[in-house]
Amino acid sequence: MNNYAGLVTRALAFAIDAAIVDLTGIAVGVVVGLALSVLNTPDDVDKALLAAGGVIFVLWTVGYFVVFWSATGETPGNRVMRIRVQCPDGRTLTRRTAALRLVALGLAAIPLLAGFVPVLFDRHRRALQDFVARSVVVRVPG
C-alpha cells in the first residue's frame, strides 16, 4: 500500500479549506457591509471599497494556501483529512513553489476538472498542480 493521498481525500480536504476561506470572507463582508450601511458614504467610495474587498479576498485566498503549504504542508482541511503537501524528498514547499502550485490548481480545474484525472492513474497520485510544482500529497500517520 502506498502513502499517497487519493482523489476523494484531497477533494474533501479542499472542500473544508474552501469553506473556511469563503466563510471568513463572507463574515468580513457582512461586518463591512453593516458598517457601511450605518455610514453615509458616496457611491464612488462604496464602489472603490467593493473593488478593494475583491482584491483583498483574492489575496486572503492566495495567502491561506501559500502560507500553509510552505509552512507545514498542511492546511486545516489537510490536517482534518490527515494529508500533507510536500516535495518528494519530504521537505515543505517554498513560498514560490506553493504559489506556483496554487496557480496550477486553478488551471487544473478549468477544463472540466481534467487536471485532476492523472490522480486516478499516476502511481504517485499526482494531479496537474503536483506535476507543475513537483510536489506530492501524502497521508500523515495518525
Q: Is the four-CA dihedral 86, 130, 58, 20 of positive or negative sign?
A: negative
How is residue 23 written as a grid cell? 466563510
Mind listing the pLDDT tens digit for each residue in 125-138?
A: 999 999 999 999 99
Percentage, residues of the chain above pLDDT 90: 92
pTM: 0.94
Mind listing the pLDDT tens digit for each residue in 2-28?
A: 799 999 999 999 999 999 999 999 999
**Cβ proximity of 81 and 12 under 8 Å:** yes
Q: What is the model's pLDDT at position 5? A: 98
Instruction: Report which of 86, 99, 102, 95 is spatially closest to residue 134, judged by C-alpha positions.
Output: 86
Mind listing the pLDDT tens digit for each residue in 43-62?
A: 899 899 999 999 999 999 99
Q: What is the model's pLDDT at position 2? A: 76
- The residues near 126 (Cβ < 8 Å, ≥ 6 apart) are 118, 119, 135, 136, 137
State how far the Cα of 116 lies from the Cα of 38, in Å rounded to an integer: 46
**Cβ proximity of 10 and 119 under 8 Å:** yes
Q: DSSP code of 89?
A: T
